[in-house]
Amino acid sequence: MKTILHRIHSILLQTLLCVPLAAQPAYDYSRIQTEDLGRGLICVRDGDSVVISWRLLNDDTAQTAFNVYCNNKKLNAKPLINSTFIKAKAEKQTATYRVATLDDGKESGRKDGTFTLKSSSTGPYLSIPLQQPAGGITPNGQRYRYSANDASVGDVDGDGEYEIILKWDPSNAHDNSHEGYTGNVHLDCYKLTGEHLWRIDLGKNIRAGAHYTQFMVYDLDGDGRAEVVCKTADGTRDGRGTVIGDSTADYRIDQDIDKEIEGKGIRQRQRVSGRILQGPEYLTVFSGLTGEALSTVDYIPARGNVSSWGDSYGNRCDRFLACVGYLDGIHPSVIMCRGYYTKTYLAAFDWDGKALTLRWLFDSEAVDQERRTADPHALPYSGQGNHNLRVADVDGDGCDEITYGSMAVDHDGTPLYTTGMGHGDAIHLMAFYPDSTQLQVWDVHENRRDGSDFRDAHTGRIIFQIKDNSDVGRGMAADIDPTNPGLEMWSSSQRGYFDVKGQLHPTDFWIPQNSAVWWDGDLCRELLDRGAISKYNWKQNSIDRIFQFDGCEFNNGSKSNPCLAADILGDWREEVIVRTRDSSELRIYHTTLPTDRRFPCWMHDIPYRLSVATENVGYNQPREPGRYFASDMKE
């Protein structure tokens, strides 16, 4: 009864807050209060030169111009109005740079920015020294050490600049399908100056791996300071040293169970160790400033009967995803998700600064049962999830929907559509057409049947499909060829790329498939993969490497992603945050290539900002905007 009443209340609330589709243009985010960001001034060395770059903000106009100073000496002869990037001769000693905002032709002091470039700075990056956790030994005697892994950003202190929240993974972190104990997972917070603010130890009852700890960093209550939300358990220690639940509890198992051999339908008795298949599960909101646990509730959905998820050893029941979305069109909610191979649950929570409350719960089994009662051949919502997800207003009602692999959930927690094509490893949601007023989805599948599909993000209508009897493990989409209208899309099943009409443009090589980044000065996107940035050369039909992250490592094996890539500083191009090989340092790389374009900070594009929040989820996906952005877009 409580769930039914909650759903009724949820629908009534959405009816009041969300403007009907016909009453406003698609993707109207005007009611949302975005982050109050500063100039994000950054200075890095490029040989004997210094690169100075800063943000264009939403409240800047076409006439807003800038002056740039070094130690109070102006560097530009005329006000800068065509870009937010300048190169100058570098000072040998530590120098202070300042960007001054000109409104109506005069320096107004509005959102001016300063940056001190130390004489010790040598490369095109900011250096953040890390406090690496000490390694340890598992109950079965295995030693492990720590490496910096996924990261996210949020303004935790309200000063208009981002802090970095970094996840530390032990060297024995495991995919759900693998056995073994793991070390504890830690979350750290660092200021861009290198100051370490806090550390959260998630404890022995949270297993380490890409599918277990999805941490959302976002200002959920609108107070100008970001919170951190993630799954916790007995023994989690917050940033002030307070332990959640029972500090002595240890739910890790080491026993024989009947285990199904994947893909063979055979069950046999096997030893299982290190998994956590019992004990309470929690969801905690932490202060982004102190790491203090502000509120802890039971995690929804609960694991319940492990075997009801499709196996008896915890592979499928512990497949977690998470995201943030503006479900009422105004306030951000955090959505915690469980399951995608079989049954799937999405639970939306609201945080008002005092209490964490459930907004709605999506249950794929209940949805499928209801729909099949009316139509026995209805396509399923269960078993449709990916290792990642996307959030954007896909139907134009001003509220965000969750695209969950091959299906989508509406802003009120009701089903939107399903293609029935099942699970996949990568998904992309953007405006693919130059004249598009809608969003589309490029999705790949590993069921050795459906290959890849390109579809309408609102209805799920298939625009074209590339069927394939192989496991299509990776897929990408971006504008990489300015001679071809619209965005390009490609996957691991073929060499070359498809255009928006479904025509294959073949190549003799594989186009990198993991991620992308805006790095050079044009409007095409570059390719970010395996420790390097590459560019598709449409003239020579080749892949050209344009930047190498020397001395650094990318994360997560074949997924090969940086800790984070996003437009967190400087102009509209994106920064790439990577760890050094020994994880003693984070480096925030900024492009040194000039551009004669300027655009508002990408973090003020809501779908882009939400995709940054979910970049650490499962198999990391690139940031993607809510509007068409490519070399052939209209000015």
Q: What's the 3-state SS for 274-326?
A: EEECCCCCEEEEEECCCCCEEEEEECCCCCCCHHHHCCCCCCCCCCEEEEEEC
**pLDDT band at 5, cuts 50/70/90?**
very low
Q: Is 50 helix (H, G, I), strand (E, B) or coil?
A: strand
Query: pLDDT tens-digit profile of 95-120?
Result: 999 999 999 999 999 999 999 999 99
**pLDDT band at 25, cuts 50/70/90?**
very low
- State residue 634 phi and psi, 5-degree precision: -75, 140
Asked whether the predicted pLDDT for residue 525 surpasses 80, the reply is yes
Pairing of strands 163-170, 186-190: antiparallel
| Contacting residues for 257 by C-beta, under 8 A, at least 6 apart | 269, 270, 272, 312, 313
Asked whether the predicted pLDDT for residue 24 surpasses 80, the reply is no
Chain-centroid distance, C-alpha 85:
26
Query: pLDDT tens-digit profile of 492-505?
Result: 999 999 999 999 99
Q: CA torsion 203→207→210→212, rounded to 10°?
A: -80
- pLDDT higher for 532 or 25? 532
Q: Is 3 helix (H, G, I), strand (E, B) or coil?
A: helix
Asked whether the predicted pLDDT for residue 14 surpasses 80, the reply is no
Residue 635: per-residue pLDDT: 65
Q: What mean pLDDT is predicted for residues 34-51?
A: 96
**pLDDT band at 8, cuts 50/70/90?**
very low
How far, in Å, CA of 323 to CA of 349, rounded? 11
Residue 230: per-residue pLDDT: 98
| Average pLDDT score over the chain | 93
How far, in Å, CA of 64 to CA of 467, rounded? 50
Report the share of the chain in percent with pLDDT over 70: 94
Asked whether the predicted pLDDT for residue 268 surpasses 80, the reply is no
Query: pLDDT tens-digit profile of 386-410?
Result: 999 999 999 999 999 999 999 999 9
**Could you tell me the CA-to-CA distances from 209 to 149, 182, 465 in Å, in that order?**
10, 9, 32
Q: CA torsion 244→249→253→255, rounded to 10°?
A: -170
Asked whether the predicted pLDDT for residue 239 surpasses 50, the reply is yes
| Nearest by Cα to 625 from 468, 506, 518 | 518
| Contacting residues for 289 by C-beta, under 8 A, at least 6 apart | 156, 157, 197, 225
Q: Check the CA dihedral 610-182-529-568 and report its sign.
A: positive
The encoded tokens of residue 28 equal 């109207």
How far, in Å, CA of 382 to CA of 378, rounded? 12
Instruction: Please give the model's pTM, rounded to 2 decimal places.
Output: 0.94
Asked whether the predicted pLDDT for residue 9 surpasses 80, the reply is no
How far, in Å, CA of 621 to CA of 635, rounded? 28
Q: What mean pLDDT is predicted for residues 497-520?
A: 97
Q: What mean pLDDT is predicted for residues 132-137?
A: 97
Pairing of strands 49-53, 85-89: antiparallel
Half-sphere exposure of 429 (CA within 13 A, CB side): 28
Buried b vs exposed e over 577-610: b needs ≥16 C-beta within 10 Å?
bbbbeebebbbbbbbbbebeebbbbbbbbbbbbb
Look-up: residue for tokens 């802003």? Answer: 411
Residue 266: per-residue pLDDT: 67
Query: pLDDT tens-digit profile of 343-384?
Result: 999 999 999 999 999 999 999 999 999 999 999 999 999 999
Residue 547: per-residue pLDDT: 98
Q: What mean pLDDT is predicted for residues 253-273?
A: 73
Asked whether the predicted pLDDT for residue 263 surpasses 60, the reply is no
Query: pLDDT tens-digit profile of 545-604?
Result: 999 999 999 998 888 899 999 999 999 999 999 999 999 999 999 999 999 999 999 999
Q: What mean pLDDT is predicted for residues 281-288?
A: 98
DSSP 372: H
Asked whether the predicted pLDDT for residue 287 surpasses 90, the reply is yes
Asked whether the predicted pLDDT for residue 16 surpasses 80, the reply is no
| Nearest by Cα to 24 from 397, 436, 437, 458 | 397
**pLDDT band at 490, cuts 50/70/90?**
very high
